């Protein structure tokens, strides 16, 4: 009979402590101007600025310099075809490669296309000729677009020459085209037809911004708490170490509630404004977001106990942010990352969240198709929750021990002064 009476008391005590921790942490967040700056201004400003920067989505009209050493009808036609591509723009023509090189060094062009002398003559003789492309490979996007535009224009031009030759030999127009290209290849860009860089990179970057701002803000508040030494009691008469799971869960709920408006802005309104992929069900996205956010929150609460000052969290987590971006698989394929580094990268919830999120939002798959990532996030949430509770308990026990030692020292000093 006593057990049935004690169980409700324990439950109500836990709920009471959870509620108090939630309200207490919410008040602490709202009073901390630095944390509010990170939680609201930074998490809203960064995705917005990045989205505006990637608004054009693709690199177009790259200025190039053409060196026409042949100066023939065929070379001029080739130049017109180069200018007709959407990737590059013939900004100027130069009389020599030396002049074009100087224009490149001066920043007036991003590449040089050289049409050699004897271009038309070799075509009329049926000999192979070439077009040389000099482009800046240190800037990958510009290099890729310049090269692909030149290949496209040269391929179309050479196809026209070949078809004219076949028609002159007696073939019909349709027959000549089939002889020129008996097995044409058709390419379909799935899930990102325009090849948009913004649509590719922004959804993942938004998730990383949500994660890193949460970790930095929680670390700042944890460091400030260490400075004030106020983590011993969260409610008069209730010891934190006696209800640690309730305390951690209450704190986690506070951060979760704070980030709900950020989620609405970054994952609902922002994709609509800038046309980011939005094919999947948002209900499926929410099923992923709940364990993702709580995993990040509990990870932040755990590591916040490592910072003695609020500034330490900013320096440490800002330093880690580029590493998180790299190991997430956005800037470099996950399959090309060394296995050990890839395994370590799963410490951060974003590593599992990003591919699952992209498959739902970009490909439109249901949440059942990202079950491994969802289960991993759920396991991560539970593990970090337990670890955060244990870390808080150890920290509080140490603080109480130090507090007792200080009291003992003060008492001994008072006795000596009385003597």
CATH number of the domain bearing residue 131: 3.40.1710
**Domain that includes residue 94, residue range:** 62-180
Percent of the chain past pLDDT 90, that is, above it, reads: 27
175 and 203 housed in the same domain: no
For residues 22 and 84, membership in a common domain is answered with no
Residues 284 and 406 in one domain: yes
Which pLDDT score, from 0 to 100, does residue 227 have? Answer: 58
pLDDT band at 257 (very low <50, low <70, confident <90, very high): very high
What is residue 11's predicted lDDT score, i.e. its pLDDT?
A: 67
Which residue, 107, 115, 105, 135, is CA-closest to 67? 115
Q: What is the pLDDT of residue 225?
A: 66
Statement: the pTM of the whole predicted model exceeds 0.85: no
> DSSP secondary-structure letter at 265?
I
- Picking from 180, 210, 226, the residue at the C-terminal end of a domain is 180
Query: Considering the domain boundaries, does residue 190 fall inside one?
Result: no
Number of domains into which the chain is organized: 2
Q: Computed over its alpha carbons, how large is the radius of gyration of the chain? A: 32
242 pLDDT more than 70? no
In 3D space, the residue among 100, 186, 110 whose CA is nearest the CA of residue 145 turns out to be 110
Specify whether 26 is located in the same domain as 158: no
Token digits of residue 267: 């994952």
Report if residue 2 sits inside a domain: no
CA distance 85 to 68: 18
Q: Are residues 263 and 361 in the same domain?
A: yes
Domain shared by 280 and 388, yes or no = yes
List, in sequence order, every residue forming a beta bridge with 62; answer none if it has no partner.
88
What does the pLDDT look like over 54-104, one tens digit per residue? Answer: 887 778 889 999 999 999 998 899 999 999 988 899 999 998 999 999 999
The mean of the pLDDT values for the chain is 83
Whether residue 1 is contained in a domain is answered as: no
Residue 296: its pLDDT value, please? Answer: 95
pLDDT in tens, 171-217: 776 776 666 667 777 777 788 777 788 888 888 999 999 999 999 98
Residues 104 and 155 in one domain: yes
Q: Are residues 42 and 168 in the same domain?
A: no
Indicate if 94 and 47 belong to the same structural domain.
no
Q: Is there a single domain that holds both residue 156 and residue 204?
A: no
212 within domain boundaries: yes
Give domain status of residue 42, yes or no: yes
CA distance 133 to 218: 52
Residue where a domain stops, chosen among 128, 147, 180: 180
Calculate the CA 267 to chain-centre distance: 13
Domain edge (last residue) among 180, 209, 235: 180
139 DSSP 8-state letter: S
Query: Residue 5 phi/psi, 5° resolution?
Result: -80, -35
In a domain, 9, yes or no: no
Residue 161 covered by a domain: yes
Among the ranges given (42-56, 143-157, 239-253, 350-364), the one the predictor scored with the smallest mean pLDDT: 239-253
What is the pLDDT, as a whole number, of residue 178?
67
Same domain as 247, residue 163: no
* Residue 254 is assigned to a structural domain of this protein: yes
- Asked if residue 328 and residue 284 are part of one domain, the reply reads yes
């Amino acid at each position: 009979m006593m057990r049935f009476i004690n169980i409700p008391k324990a439950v109500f005590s836990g709920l009471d402590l959870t509620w108090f921790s939630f309200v207490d942490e919410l008040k602490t967040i709202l009073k901390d101007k630095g944390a509010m700056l990170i939680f609201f201004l930074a998490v809203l400003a960064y995705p917005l600025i990045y989205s505006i920067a990637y608004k054009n989505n693709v690199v177009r009209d790259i200025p190039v310099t053409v060196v026409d050493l042949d100066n023939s009808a065929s070379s001029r036609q080739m130049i017109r075809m180069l200018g007709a591509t959407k990737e590059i723009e013939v900004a100027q023509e130069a009389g020599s490669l030396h002049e074009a090189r100087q224009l490149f060094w001066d920043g007036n062009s991003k590449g040089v296309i050289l049409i050699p002398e004897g271009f038309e003559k070799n075509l009329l003789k049926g000999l192979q000729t070439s077009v040389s492309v000099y482009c800046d490979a240190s800037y990958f996007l510009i290099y890729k677009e310049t090269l692909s535009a030149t290949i496209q224009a040269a391929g179309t031009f050479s196809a026209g020459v070949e078809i004219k030759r076949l028609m002159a030999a007696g073939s019909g127009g349709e027959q000549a085209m089939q002889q020129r290209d008996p097995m044409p290849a058709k390419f379909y860009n799935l899930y990102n037809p325009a090849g948009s860089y913004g649509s590719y990179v922004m959804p993942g970057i938004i998730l990383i911004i949500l994660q890193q701002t949460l970790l930095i803000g929680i670390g700042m508040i944890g460091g400030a708490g260490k400075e004030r030494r106020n983590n011993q009691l969260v409610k008069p008469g209730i010891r934190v170490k006696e209800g640690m799971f309730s305390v951690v869960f209450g704190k986690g709920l506070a951060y979760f509630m704070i980030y709900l408006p950020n989620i609405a802005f970054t994952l609902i309104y922002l994709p609509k404004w800038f046309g980011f992929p939005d094919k999947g069900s948002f209900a499926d996205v929410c099923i992923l977001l709940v364990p993702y956010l709580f995993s990040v929150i509990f990870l932040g609460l755990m590591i916040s106990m490592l910072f003695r000052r609020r500034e330490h969290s900013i320096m440490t987590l800002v330093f880690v942010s580029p590493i998180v971006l790299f190991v997430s698989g956005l800037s470099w394929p996950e399959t090309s990352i060394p296995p050990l580094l890839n395994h370590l990268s799963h410490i951060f919830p974003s590593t599992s969240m990003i591919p699952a999120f992209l498959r739902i939002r970009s490909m439109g798959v249901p949440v059942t198709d990202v079950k491994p990532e969802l289960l991993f996030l759920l396991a991560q949430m539970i593990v970090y929750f337990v670890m955060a509770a244990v870390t808080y308990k150890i920290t509080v026990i140490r603080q109480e021990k130090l507090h007792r030692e200080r009291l003992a020292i003060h008492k001994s000093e008072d006795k000596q002064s009385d003597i």
